[in-house]
Amino acid sequence: MIHKERFAWGLLAPTLVILIFIGLLPFLYALYLSFFHWNIFSRTGSLIWAGADNFRKLVFDTEFLSALWKSIKFMFWAIPIEFILGLVLAISLTKPFKGRNFFRLVHTLPLTMAPIAIGATWKLMTMPGLGIVSKFLGSIGIDYNIGRSATQAFFTIVLMDIWHWTPFVTLTFLAGLTALPKEPLEQAQIDGASRWQIFWYLILPMLRPVISTILFIRIMDALRIVDEVWMLTSGGPGTATRFVGLHVWRVVFPKTEYGYGSAMSVLLLYFTIVLCWFLFQTITRGGKEEI
């Protein structure tokens, strides 16, 4: 038994070492910097102890709070649509139909693209007077220009994110659906349950771990989206699409306020953890009540 445990830890060790170097150590360094004022282009370029000043400043930083609110709005628009579309497509893909494998291949392509490539692609498609999206909308009388309209820019980013991440939701749901035990579903059909009853009272409860995984990953990704937004709108028009990830980037790099930017990152991580914990408690509490 001890030999098996050592062998298992030996297999896990390389992965754990990599995770420590690319995950834990950068976080600890950011946490350390968040308690200092540090601008490498200042006269001294040295670390100056700030204590909790950076975090107190964040509470009254209207630009940061505005960027965080925009990210929350973006998240609550994009994720529910991706969730519903992905679930519907996954259920459809469990049934055989002509061209299913081809559709699955094409549907997965956006997921294989780099975020910066996706932003560049949508930039070309939405270019005023040249892109296929702007040309199509112009042909039906809609004045479309994401460089002028904050609303159009925001919802274009939402659509881009849906196009990018719905395949991930679909594949994750598909894996969960194919792994479900058949016996409870067959027994429910024999007992006369309708398709809706089987879906609502059997399939969805059994998919709770899958739902939790999807929501956690998508929330984390949605709150730190940077590359696609930078390529498509650069945060504009004005600051209309400057989400919190892009705002942190602009504070850290152009302004070189590393301590303040680190405090933003730590606070954003804390917000993400609290939100995911709340969702986890809600999902697991629902399962316990049904039991």
- Among 197, 216, 210, 180, residue whose Cα is nearest residue 87: 210
Residues 226-236: tens digit of each pLDDT:
999 999 999 99
Cα separation of 9 and 7, whole Å?
5
Ordered domains of the chain (ranges, CATH): 55-290 (1.10.3720.10)
> How far are the Cα atoms of 83, 117, 225, 230, 286 from residue 88, in angstroms, in the given order?
9, 27, 25, 31, 22
What mean pLDDT is reported for the chain?
Answer: 89
pLDDT at 42 (0 to 100): 66
Q: Minimum mean pLDDT among 12-21, 35-44, 128-137, 222-231: which range?
A: 35-44
Cα separation of 161 and 118, whole Å?
9
4-8, 49-53, 231-235 — most confident range: 231-235
Spatial neighbors of 265 by CB under 8 A, at least 6 apart, are 30, 34, 248
For residues 89 and 4, the model is more confident at 89
**Torsion from C-alpha of 263, 264, 267, 273, nearest 10 degrees:** -130
Residue 7 near residue 233, CB atoms below 8 Å: no
> How far are the Cα atoms of 106, 202, 205 from residue 291, in angstroms, in the given order?
40, 12, 10
Confidence of residue 138 (pLDDT cuts 50, 70, 90): confident
Residue 49 pairs in a beta bridge with 36
pLDDT above 70 coverage of the chain, percent: 95
Residues 164-213: tens digit of each pLDDT:
999 999 999 999 999 999 898 888 888 888 889 999 999 999 999 999 99
As to burial, measured by CB atoms within 10 angstroms (0-12 exposed, 13-18 middle, 19+ buried), residue 109 is exposed
Cα separation of 14 and 244, whole Å?
33
Q: What is the DSSP letter of 107?
A: H
Spatial neighbors of 122 by CB under 8 A, at least 6 apart, are 156, 160, 228, 231, 232
- Among 256, 274, 248, residue whose Cα is nearest residue 63: 248
pLDDT at 43 (0 to 100): 64
Tell me the average pLDDT across 127-140: 89
